[in-house]
Amino acid sequence: MPIIADERLKDLSNEEITRYSRHILLPEVGVEGQKRLNAARVLIVGTGGLGAPLALYLAAAGIGTIGVVDFDFVEASNLQRQVIHSTRDIDRPKTASAKDRIKGINPGVNVVIHNTRLNRENALDIFKDYDIAADGTDNYQTRYLVNDACVMLGIPNVYGSIYRFEGQASVFYAKEGPCYRCLFPAPPPPGLVPSCAEGGVLGVLPGIIGTIQACEVIKLIIGGGRLIGRLLLFDAWDMTFRELKIEKDPNCPICGKNPTIHELPDYERFCGLTPDSDSEPIETITATGLKERVDRGENLQIIDIREPHERAIAKFPGAKYIPLGQIARRADEFDPKIDAVFLCKIGQRSIFAIRALRDTGYKGRLLNLKDGVNAWARDVDKTLPRY
């Protein structure tokens, strides 16, 4: 059954035939295929590295309606890879910047902005108006949310992910094959896989994967070979492609024979990001608060858990370097009588370091530097770079 119903198709104008002539000349597309593209409604979740090429190429292809979901603002560090935004867009909402570029490429595209954080309360209401969702997110809780919303609404999920030099792409469509949960029944432990903001990413990598996603969206609409049931793996460093076959899991909790998920769950808790109710809360300290204590000459254990290549970017004064993976086995190096302050780039991995040390039975006071080294560079020592 075609994703786009025949009754939604409209004749092409002479101007549209000219604009899309290189598509129409392809027998696999033709006039009929271009009419389907023009009638399609595609939701892009995230306008970052993956969402940028997705939006640009889908706009150029003539997708009739492009929805864009994002709540973030453009930052200078985005511009190395998020090619839909420009220097003049810094501090603008990403959705506004993306809409301008989409309209600049193709004024005929209807752009629907969802300037909000996607969550289980609003996801189904947003997704229900679209034929396809393209996942350009960079965290597991949103990936599971996108998958589950697509399964519940019966629409394809065009998936992409990137990490440093490696990328993945697939199409998860429960009507015809496996879903994301069939491949990844559970997320990795919190902190095990850093985000692009913490681990870095080759700037062109999301362009390659996002363009592959755009290609799969187009083929879903017009018909053709698809990545359903296949996971494409790309290594930009070695310039290699591999492919894995994905089987539908009959015991999948959302698309299997006897599903147990009937409404969108708490994804923060599912991904281990919500501490147990009986766990001790993480105490934080601001950059200015830490500076005041240092200036008073207080005896502190300042622990920098970043990797060596990060410390080369911005060294933190007076810090002891213990990588995240070594915290538990080096617990005897900490003095429980002295407050310990943990820091990383943005104050996320340091939370996992504190939890790892607590799990060893350590009883000393542990504080997390809020927003990490970047906050120190922003609020205390402006000679340090923010990265």
**Would you say residue 254 lies in a domain?**
yes
What is the per-residue pLDDT for 75? 95
User: Which residues have CB under 8 Å from 317's CB, separation 6+?
Assistant: 381
182 noted as active-site residue = no
Q: Per the residue annotation, which of 150, 179, 196, 255 is the catalytic one?
A: 196
Report the CATH number that the domain containing residue 254 is assigned in CATH. Answer: 3.40.50.720
Q: Per the residue annotation, which of 182, 252, 255, 344 is the catalytic one?
A: 344
**Would you say residue 32 lies in a domain?**
no
> What ranges make up the beta strands (E) of the chain?
41-45, 65-69, 110-114, 132-135, 157-163, 166-172, 230-235, 240-245, 283-285, 301-304, 320-321, 340-343, 366-369
Which residue, among 52, 68, 76, 64, has the nearest Cα to 10 in the 3D structure?
64
Do the beta carbons of residue 160 and residue 213 sit within 8 Å?
yes
User: What are the pLDDT digits (tens) for 257-285?
Assistant: 999 999 999 999 998 887 655 568 899 99
**Would you say residue 10 lies in a domain?**
no
Do the beta carbons of residue 100 and residue 59 sit within 8 Å?
no
Averages of pLDDT over runs of 10 residues in the chain (387 residues) are 87 98 97 97 97 98 98 96 97 97 98 97 98 96 98 98 97 97 91 77 97 97 91 98 97 96 94 70 96 96 93 93 93 96 95 94 97 96 93
289 shares a domain with 247 = no
What is the per-residue pLDDT for 195? 77
What is the per-residue pLDDT for 226? 84
179 noted as active-site residue = no
Q: Render 10-57 in DSSP notation, one character per residue.
A: -PPPHHHHHHTHHHHTSTTTHHHHHHHHHH-EEEEE--STTHHHHHHH
What is the per-residue pLDDT for 276? 57
pTM of the model: 0.86
What is the per-residue pLDDT for 288? 97
Q: Which residues span the domain enclosing 307? A: 283-379
Distance between CA atoms of residues 387 and 76, nearest Å: 9
Report the CATH number that the domain containing residue 357 is assigned in CATH. Answer: 3.40.250.10
What is the per-residue pLDDT for 376? 97
What is the per-residue pLDDT for 356? 93
**Would you say residue 189 lies in a domain?**
yes
85 backbone φψ class: left, alpha, beta (φ>0; ψ -120 to 50) = beta
User: What are the pLDDT digits (tens) for 132-182?
Assistant: 999 999 999 999 999 999 999 999 999 999 999 999 999 999 999 999 999
Residue the block writes with tokens 């065009």: 158
What is the per-residue pLDDT for 170? 98
**What's the angle, vertex CA 222, arms to CA 176 and CA 97, rounded to 5?**
100
Distance between CA atoms of residues 130 and 153, nearest Å: 10
**Would you say residue 264 lies in a domain?**
yes
